Chains A and B, each alone.
Chain A
Amino acid sequence: MFKKILVANRGEIAVRVLRACREMSISSATVFSDADRTALHTRYADEVYHLGPAPAAESYLRIDKIIEVAKRAKVEAIHPGYGFLAENTGFAEACEASGIVFIGPTSKAIRLLGDKIISKKTMSDVGIPVIPGSGGAVVDESEAQTMAKQIGFPVFIKAAGGGGGKGMRVVREMKELTSAMKQAVSEAQSAFGNPTVFIEKFLEAPRHIEFQILADHHGNVVHLFERECSVQRRHQKLIEESPSAIMTPDLRARMGQAAVQAVKASNYTNAGTVEFMVDKNRSFYFLEMNTRLQVEHPVTELITGIDIVKEQFKIAAGQRLSIKQDGIRMNGAAIECRISAEDPENNFAPSTGRIVEIIEPGGPGVRIDSGVYEGFEVPIYYDPLIAKLLVWATSRDQVIKRAKRALKEYSIRGIKTSIPFHLLVMNTPEFIKGEYDTTFIDKVLGKVKYKKENHEVAAIAAAIGRILKEKRAKISEAKKEAGVNPWKLSARQMGLRNM
């Protein structure tokens, strides 16, 4: 096993990986930008190295600087977390060239799977169902128009180079195509430095279900069941759960087999996620493969008892998988709520600033993976995800109740967070019954108002607040007029004492 690992990330995921290092007695190093001098990960690692200014392009995305740090710190391996350089072929190559182990797949596998066009073809060639589409880059508007006509509306414009909801547009009519294409290309360029887009059929009301996989360097591949990720806003996941409410043993077996096949077809190693779309008839289609540790990986950890980060370390160190497919058991149900610094009551507007107070939930079945602390200033430069609330219980019914209970205990002051959104979802009948798909937020929650029942108390509190404020103002005014400065008074008393 490695003696020392560099975690090239920030926030909750850096802390998550650092925790695994500590539990395995591996020395750790991490990196930080100017905005993260006091961040939690910077305070957690054994060694910390400054990268540069706050913008990611000048710090967390600087391959040259990170490799330099890795050499200086004499680490044997680098864990990239998710986002930033996690799926960057150039970074994996730079690690390989420097003789440092990249804890993830090979650069070759990242390149293949990172290109959505090539990866789709690879999967379709081995018989895994894929969504009908352009099959290649769409260069200009006229080609887009021809393609859209061929596939039939609605169509989906997607960036070939990325994910996370950026560079994606749904187009329902021909007249929307030109502007949507422009927006997608410009977003793809600014987010991934690659303006290439492609077009595919847009499935109406699909579910988004993914399979976690582990693959070692000796040809062993296992899957750790599914995660249901259909609660999405603008293609960004907000809540994930396992098992999926629509899963049957037969469908799970078939999808799991397809996931393992996808891994083998792409010579993939380490931990990864195969994403599928599932339509109303429970037909599934390969969507893409995420060649990294996922934000929502703890959901799987809770139901299988397998520590995915530790497995990543072991695989990267060349060890054989110690687990076999038929030895992996699914126990109970788990839900993740992504806690982000956004105001759900104001169209998820970002909310940065100093966290004045945090009260975290506790009790049975609760896990918090957080990257912040009381007094921390949430920077404007990075992703708004600040923490993840994970709950486990014996059944789906119980885990929803537990999530609700934990969310009510959770209080973060000073910034707005997505906690009220999660509470709203946990109280929504469609979610409770498991009858939801990727249109859930727009169709079901779009019309729902945040539940508020304390208007009267708020009215009273506002008036009392006004009176208390005026009283405090009067007291400080009176003090000023009396000319008594408490510091002076104290100094005089001290002076007297010294006489």
Chain B
Amino acid sequence: MAYITKIDNKEFKVDLKQEGKDFKVYLDGKEIKVEVAHEQGAQLTLIVDDKPFNVILETDDLIVVAGESYNVEIFDEQVEKFMKASTGKSEKRELAVKAAMPGLIIEVTVKQGDKVTEGQGLLIIEAMKMQNEMQTPRDGVVKTIKVKKGQTVNSGETLIIIE
């Protein structure tokens, strides 16, 4: 199987073949031996080139490696090729900015159609007695604003869609 993975916006091509419990991996064409030493629920211990790494597959878009969190996007290479050929665009074009926790929307600081740059504030949520700014993790354009001032939101609720 071949995948295109984006790790904190860095792109890698991962081609891998399972051999028993282990994997033969080609990372951007470079061969790497990967052993799955331990697998329990979301926790994995991978031995990559003889070095052990504790890995937690927290969610579909978040992976923790040796205590460091990484944002992950992963696409099937075949699907990606097909999408590019037919629409000229990648599989996943939109990014939903979700509420990190339940809270009250104090202010929305962007408008639909605004150009935003990585790290720019989008809105302010009040929770745990403090006001917190939600930022866009990448550059883009504000496509949809799903919440308004004074509204309460639940954790994981989509707030704004960036295109």
**Chain A residues in the interface with B (C-beta under 8 A):** 166, 191, 341, 343, 345-353, 380-384, 408, 411, 413, 416, 419-420, 450-468
Q: How far is the CB of A93 from chain B (nearest CB, A)?
A: 25
Q: A345-B69, A348-B132, A383-B128 are in contact. Are A467 and B10 (CB under 8 A)?
A: no
Contacting pair B16 A459 (CB below 8 A): no
B1: chain A residues within 8 A (beta carbon): 463, 467
Q: How far is the CB of A441 from chain B (nearest CB, A)?
A: 15
Contacting pair A346 B74 (CB below 8 A): no
Contacting pair A458 B63 (CB below 8 A): yes
Contacting pair B23 A466 (CB below 8 A): no
Contacting pair B27 A464 (CB below 8 A): no
Contacting pair A465 B132 (CB below 8 A): no
Known pairs A350-B132, A455-B7, A458-B70. 7 more at Cβ < 8 A? Answer: A343-B100, A345-B69, A350-B128, A452-B70, A454-B68, A457-B46, A464-B36
Chain A, residue nearest B16 (CB): A463
Chain A, residue nearest B48 (CB): A457
Please report the C-alpha to C-alpha distance between residue A345 and residue B100 in the assembled complex, in whole angstroms. 12
Contacting pair A462 B46 (CB below 8 A): no
Q: How far is the CB of A52 from chain B (nearest CB, A)?
A: 18
B66 interface hit (Cβ, 8 Å)? yes
Contacting pair B57 A349 (CB below 8 A): no
Contacting pair B132 A456 (CB below 8 A): no
Contacting pair B155 A352 (CB below 8 A): yes
Chain B, residue nearest A419 (CB): B67
B102: chain A residues within 8 A (beta carbon): 352, 380
Contacting pair A350 B10 (CB below 8 A): no
Q: How far is the CB of A391 from chain B (nearest CB, A)?
A: 18
Name B23's contact: one of A343, A352, A464 (CB within 8 Å): A464
A420: chain B residues within 8 A (beta carbon): 67-69
B68: chain A residues within 8 A (beta carbon): 420, 450-454
Contacting pair B57 A465 (CB below 8 A): yes
Contacting pair B127 A380 (CB below 8 A): yes
Where chain B touches its partner, the secondary structure class is: strand
Please report the C-alpha to C-alpha distance between residue A419 and residue B68 in the assembled complex, in whole angstroms. 10
B74: chain A residues within 8 A (beta carbon): 462-463, 466
Q: A452-B68, A462-B72, A466-B74 are in contact. Are A413 and B8 (CB under 8 A)?
A: no
Please report the C-alpha to C-alpha distance between residue A453 and residue B10 in the assembled complex, in whole angstroms. 12
Contact with A along B60-78 (1 / 0, CB 8 A): 0001111111101010000
Q: How far is the CB of B101 from chain A (nearest CB, A)?
A: 5
Please report the C-alpha to C-alpha distance between residue A416 and residue B64 in the assembled complex, in whole angstroms. 11
Chain A, residue nearest B134 (CB): A349
B82 interface hit (Cβ, 8 Å)? no
Please report the C-alpha to C-alpha distance between residue A47 and residue B41 in the assembled complex, in whole angstroms. 38
Q: How far is the CB of B73 from chain A (nearest CB, A)?
A: 9
B133 interface hit (Cβ, 8 Å)? yes
A462: chain B residues within 8 A (beta carbon): 3, 5, 7, 14, 63, 72, 74
Contacting pair A460 B46 (CB below 8 A): yes
Contacting pair A455 B128 (CB below 8 A): no
Q: How far is the CB of B72 from chain A (nearest CB, A)?
A: 5
Contacting pair B46 A464 (CB below 8 A): yes
B39: chain A residues within 8 A (beta carbon): 468
Contacting pair A460 B27 (CB below 8 A): yes
Contacting pair B101 A350 (CB below 8 A): yes
Q: A420-B68, A462-B14 are in contact. Are A349 and B132 (CB under 8 A)?
A: yes
B58: chain A residues within 8 A (beta carbon): 413
Q: How far is the CB of B23 from chain A (nearest CB, A)?
A: 6
Please report the C-alpha to C-alpha distance between residue A413 and residue B68 in the assembled complex, in whole angstroms. 12
Q: How far is the CB of A68 from chain B (nearest CB, A)?
A: 26
Q: A459-B7, A461-B65 are in contact. Are A347 and B12 (CB under 8 A)?
A: no
Q: How far is the CB of A383 from chain B (nearest CB, A)?
A: 7
A452: chain B residues within 8 A (beta carbon): 8, 68, 70
Closest 7 CB pairs of A and B: A459-B12, A463-B14, A458-B70, A454-B65, A349-B100, A350-B128, A465-B57
Q: How far is the CB of B36 from chain A (nearest CB, A)?
A: 7
A352: chain B residues within 8 A (beta carbon): 101-102, 127-128, 155
Q: What are 15 pairs between A and B in contact, CB < 8 Å?
A: A341-B128, A349-B134, A350-B101, A352-B127, A353-B155, A381-B128, A383-B128, A413-B56, A420-B69, A457-B48, A460-B25, A461-B44, A461-B65, A462-B63, A463-B1
A353: chain B residues within 8 A (beta carbon): 101, 155
Chain B, residue nearest A349 (CB): B100
Q: How far is the CB of A497 from chain B (nearest CB, A)?
A: 32
B32: chain A residues within 8 A (beta carbon): 460
Contacting pair B133 A347 (CB below 8 A): yes
B129 interface hit (Cβ, 8 Å)? yes
Please report the C-alpha to C-alpha distance between residue A343 and residue B58 in the assembled complex, in whole angstroms. 15
B129: chain A residues within 8 A (beta carbon): 166, 191, 382-383
Chain A, residue nearest B36 (CB): A464
Name B57's contact: one of A383, A451, A459, A461 (CB within 8 Å): A461
Please report the C-alpha to C-alpha distance between residue A150 and residue B46 in the assembled complex, in whole angstroms. 64
Q: How far is the CB of B66 from chain A (nearest CB, A)?
A: 6
Contact with A along B91-130 (1 / 0, CB 8 A): 0000000001111000000000000000000000101111
B7: chain A residues within 8 A (beta carbon): 455, 458-459, 462
Name A351's contact: one of B57, B101, B133 (CB within 8 Å): B101
Chain A, residue nearest B132 (CB): A349
Q: How far is the CB of B42 from chain A (nearest CB, A)?
A: 8
Q: How far is the CB of A193 from chain B (nearest CB, A)?
A: 14
Contacting pair A380 B44 (CB below 8 A): no
Please report the C-alpha to C-alpha distance between residue A289 and residue B11 in the assembled complex, in whole angstroms. 53
Q: How far is the CB of B18 from chain A (nearest CB, A)?
A: 7
